[in-house]
Chains A and B, each alone.
Chain A
Amino acid sequence: QSALTQPPSVSGSPGQSVTISCTGTSSDVGNYNRVSWYQQPPGTAPKLMIYEVSNRPSGVPDRFSGSKSGNTASLTISGLQTEDEADYYCSSYTSSSTWVFGGGTKLTVL
């Protein structure tokens, strides 16, 4: 199972919005709503930010939102804050009954 495709890096200024894409295939992202997003600051464990494409766990700010179109899922962060700077990973369930992660995207808040 190949990794899902994410841009290596994105950046934005405080207050701006950024979108991170996650492209898979019809065997994963395109066929299942079990797509989730994780935030990982350096040296820490990942934290769940979005699950089932667009649901936010309690405690996650509503500045974080998720969506999906075809084989591509997206994470949008609006009103960027310096504490949002981290690596972000998408994940999807697959037709092989396994899970696959994306390659990760480094978000820099300028």
Chain B
Amino acid sequence: QVQLVQSGAEVKKPGASVKVSCKASGYTFTSYAMHWVRQAPGQRLEWMGWINTGDGNTKYSQKFQGRVTITRDTSASTAYMELSSLRSEDTAVYYCARAYGSGGACMDVWGKGTTVTVSS
């Protein structure tokens, strides 16, 4: 079955970077783009960016531009999201989600999320 398995929880100090992985299975990885979405405690979902897993092209939210890098390894069917210059406000659950439909219209399969805690 289609599945996205994310890496485990992380605890980071302010100023550090974190890299979260998302391994896809059950479908052809390069046929679907991948979104990254985060959710701070008690807050709304927030779109961070996405990657065309076929050619590697990316698009980022202006809010995270310059701090986020989304990459993929097609041989491992894995997408990655790296966020740098971490601050306490980046404490959140980070989700990967497969893009589905015309122009990646929606996010049809989600990973279980990776909790990132930023604390000194």
Contact = CB atoms under 8 A, between A and B. Distances in A.
A47 B59 contact: no
Contact of A93 (B95, B105, B108): B105
Contacts, number: 70
A101 B44 contact: yes
A53 to B, nearest CB: 9
Interface residues of B, number: 25
A1 B103 CA distance: 20
Contacts of A38: 45, 107
B107 A36 contact: yes
Contacts of B10: none
A91 B106 contact: yes
Given A45-B113, A97-B59, A98-B61, A52 B105 contact: yes
B102 to A, nearest CB: 7
A101 to B, nearest CB: 4
B110 A46 contact: yes
A52 B102 contact: yes
Interface of B: 35, 37, 44-47, 50, 59, 61-62, 95, 97, 100-108, 110-113
Q: Which 4 A-B pairs have the closest CB atoms?
A: A51-B106, A36-B106, A34-B105, A45-B110
